[in-house]
Structure 1
């Protein structure tokens, strides 16, 4: 799965847009992954929304991840689930999920990142990189130094989330992130599709430059 631009849905910052509408507009702007995130809705409500997002992402060739709820992810045919440190363990999730199912884990230290990789995670998300108001329980930003340390410590993709916008997305990629996950910077934008397109372009440009630099260093 490609993780360059990973958009997390959040109806509280979307200006009245639904999860489904957020997903539709984000993939139109080039989002590679949509994560359904809603802490308040019931399992059946989330599953219904999940089926709608599944259809949108499948049509666009994008990935679909459900936050926290493995039961919802499995019931609506999502590509995977994203787990926090207080959620179901990655080991258990891996045991009860089908082959090829993607499991991401939020981490805040090198130890947590290594443990997630050992337990079978497909990617880790350092959360938050910068201070953010979108995830009130996220705590202070970890900064780019920890991002670099985690990227060096694990062999699976490292996604950065928290406080990332158009003004600093390039810095995050330059620091070694394999992709950026965003909430308010894209979901809360008046022109959601256009902002997603700009964000995707920054990620692609900086990753291409990083690859070129690595190639030149190897000469």
Structure 2
């Protein structure tokens, strides 16, 4: 028997469904609005949600994404990703090490790692990661203790030399997503700019179009 193939990370906006942003709307509802706008990657970040509720939400979002042809990744929680049959995980500096996430998930799921520079990107590759989240590219209010801002020039330099596809993270929104794409990013992670907009679905449509413009140089 052939082993199941690992999903491919599609290029474009990478939408985070965060339980701390717009908490009055359920994670499942937020994810549905993101996917309806054209999101092909949704990451669930559930730092405040009780574990049983988080597992139930993850299972629902995984099912939603499968129906709509999108990927569902889970931030940090390898256990939830496994139990809900998600497409993979994204881990940071204080989460499960990438090599352990890979050992637990096996070869058929994606592992993403947050890095700050090219050294981190190469270490992530050696640990078995499929892609890296690099940043913050711009100032961000999503993280309580944000890392120093890279800026576009330094970001583009790391992207050029990275052995793995790069997701630009930190402060990305409609006003600058095209510049992140133009700098060579495979994806651009968006949180508040999408979830706090008056019309989440329409905002995602505009983010998708802007990213494509940036990649094409239009």
Per the normalisation by structure 2, the TM-score is 0.91
Structure 2 residue 163 is matched with structure 1 residue 155: yes
Identify the residue that residue 215 of structure 1 maps to in structure 2. none
| CA deviation vs aligned residue, 1:84-127 (integer Å, no higher than 9, x gap) | 01211111111121322100000111111111011111000013
CA contact (8 A) 1:117 1:154 kept: no
CA contact (8 A) 1:27 1:60 kept: yes
In structure 2, list runs of 5 or more residues that go unmatched: 1-8
Cα separation, 1, equivalents of 2:90 and 2:10: 15
* 1:74 alignment partner, one of 62, 76, 82: 82
Cα separation, 2, equivalents of 1:51 and 1:187: 21
Q: Which shows bigger deviation, 41-50 or 57-66?
A: 41-50
* 1:177 alignment partner, one of 185, 188, 191: 185
The alpha-carbon distance between structure 1 residues 189 and 175, as it changes in their structure 2 partners (threshold 3 A), is same
Structure 2 residue 180 is matched with structure 1 residue 195: no
Identify the residue that residue 7 of structure 1 maps to in structure 2. 15
Cα separation, 1, equivalents of 2:130 and 2:182: 22
Structure 2 residue 121 is matched with structure 1 residue 125: no
Q: How big is the shift at 1:182?
A: 0.4
**RMSD, matched Cα:** 1.4
Cα separation, 1, equivalents of 2:28 and 2:191: 14
The runs of at least 4 consecutive aligned structure 1 residues that moved more than 3 Å come to none
Cα separation, 2, equivalents of 1:155 and 1:12: 32
Q: Which shows bigger deviation, 54-63 or 12-21?
A: 12-21
Q: Secondary structure at the match of 2:114?
A: strand
Q: 1:17-166 residue pairs with structure 2 within 5 A?
A: 17-166=25-174
Q: How big is the shift at 1:159?
A: 0.4
Cα separation, 1, equivalents of 2:10 and 2:137: 20
In structure 1, list runs of 5 or more residues that go unmatched: 211-219
Cα separation, 2, equivalents of 1:105 and 1:114: 11
Cα separation, 2, equivalents of 1:21 and 1:70: 23
How many pairs does the alignment contain? 210
Q: Secondary structure at the match of 2:217?
A: helix
Q: How big is the shift at 1:208?
A: 2.7
| CA deviation vs aligned residue, 1:162-199 (integer Å, no higher than 9, x gap) | 11111111111111111111000001111000000000
Q: Which shows bigger deviation, 172-181 or 37-46?
A: 37-46
Q: How big is the shift at 1:15?
A: 6.3
Q: Secondary structure at the match of 1:9?
A: strand
